[in-house]
Amino acid sequence: MSIIELNELTKDYGNHKGIFDLNFQVKEGEVFGYLGPNGAGKTTTIRHLMGFLTPDKGSAHILGKDCTVSSAAIMKELGYLPAEIAFFDGMNGMDFLKFMGEMRGLTDTSYRDKLIEQFELDTRGGIRKMSKGMKQKLGIICAFMHDPKVLILDEPTSGLDPLMQRRFAELILSEKSKGKTILMSSHSFEEIERTCDRVGIIRQGDLVAIEDIHVLKEKRRKTYLITFDSPAAAAAFEQKDGFDRITVNHATAKVSILGNVSGLVQELSHYTVLDLDIENSSLEDVFMQYYGDSIKNATVLK
């Protein structure tokens, strides 16, 4: 069953700015990662899901309801974390959470209090004086505290330190175990790899790929650092065909391989190898394969 569904969703701002003919679904209980550089269309997509924008063409649905005409009904079942959070500066953290809880009809605050403890947030402090990371924690708690069925999270770990990023990943996995449906854009490849079932990759407003996270992992290149017994042996190996990206430094060769390594093993049997180290490429490297040279001047996810 699809909880979130986009059909030919298009918003054209001109000069190929916007989103174009987006088609994808997020299934019930799935965590879907939405990746792309700044300006690719992630936030524009999410604003359509929230009913903040009206598409030029196509539609977006959550829980079977049209996001444009039924946004109020959808919001009752939804948790939302925007990329830029608007707060009331005159409030402290607890005032804000109580205010948002009252708007949502929240009566049981036990989960809210658990999240406050989990993210080590001092809610007594004035929002105006809070750091970016503290405000982000406040936004996360606000998005999750009413135990929504569906969560839409736009760059949720922005401003969080590594410890809190880990806590957030643990929260996502916990919510996933409860059957929650989650769509999130992210600047953290490690986070996507740890938490997501599938990943959509958007490029200049076009959806260029939707992949199972396990498929993306299989597309990683493996890099082997091979130390031979002499520079001459390394130079001879460099001349061999059938391997990608061979570089040699003195007696050490660096070779990158996608897929089966049996050919490398067979070739190395003809040499005296003193040391062999293996490195897996990151998910970011896989992501870059979808972008190529066109992304060089863009702000890439970090």
Residue 260: Cβ-neighbour burial (10 angstroms; 0-12, 13-18, 19+): exposed
User: Are 94 and 127 spatial neighbours (Cβ–Cβ below 8 Å)?
Assistant: no
User: Cα separation of 95 and 150, whole Å?
Assistant: 25
| pLDDT tops 90 at residue 180 | yes
Q: Which two tokens stand for residue 35?
A: 């990746």
Size of the chain, expressed as the number of residues it contains: 302
What is the pLDDT, as a whole number, of residue 291?
Answer: 65
User: Are 155 and 187 spatial neighbours (Cβ–Cβ below 8 Å)?
Assistant: yes
- Closest of 112, 45, 104 to residue 72, by C-alpha: 104
Please give the share of the chain, as a percent, with pLDDT higher than 70.
90
User: Cα separation of 264 and 18, whole Å?
Assistant: 45
Q: Which two tokens stand for residue 36?
A: 């792309």
3-class DSSP state for residue 109? coil
What is the pLDDT, as a whole number, of residue 187?
Answer: 65
| pLDDT tops 70 at residue 296 | no
**23 vs 282: which has the higher pLDDT:** 23
Q: Which domains does the chain have, with CATH numbers?
A: 2-77+149-217 (3.40.50.300), 221-280 (3.30.70.1560)
- pLDDT digit string (tens) for 108-152? 999 999 999 999 999 998 999 999 999 999 999 999 999 999 999
- pLDDT digit string (tens) for 239-255? 887 777 688 889 999 89
- Closest of 36, 63, 60 to residue 48, by C-alpha: 60
57-62 vs 181-185, strand pairing mode: unpaired
Query: Rounded to the nearest 10 degrees, what angle do helices 132-144 and 162-177 cross at?
Result: 10
User: Cα separation of 5 and 17, whole Å?
Assistant: 22
Residue 228 contacts by C-beta under 8 Å, 6 or more apart in sequence? 234, 237, 251, 252, 253, 271, 272, 273, 274
Fill in the amino acid letter for 19.
Answer: I
Per the prediction, the chain carries an average pLDDT of: 89
| pLDDT tops 60 at residue 300 | no
Residue 241 contacts by C-beta under 8 Å, 6 or more apart in sequence? none
CA-based R_g, the chain, Å: 23
- pLDDT digit string (tens) for 37-65? 888 899 999 999 999 999 999 999 999 99
**Chain centroid offset of residue 202 CA:** 11
- pLDDT digit string (tens) for 1-47? 899 999 999 999 999 899 999 999 999 999 999 988 888 899 999 99
Please spell the DSSP secondary structure of 186-201, one letter per residue.
-S-HHHHHHH-SEEEE
What is the pLDDT, as a whole number, of residue 80?
Answer: 97
| pLDDT tops 90 at residue 82 | yes
What does the DSSP 8-state code read for residue 129?
A: G
- Closest of 243, 227, 241, 221 to residue 277, by C-alpha: 227
Q: Which two tokens stand for residue 150?
A: 């569906």
User: Are 184 and 151 spatial neighbours (Cβ–Cβ below 8 Å)?
Assistant: yes
Rounded (10°) CA dihedral 211, 212, 214, 220: 10
3-class DSSP state for residue 244? strand
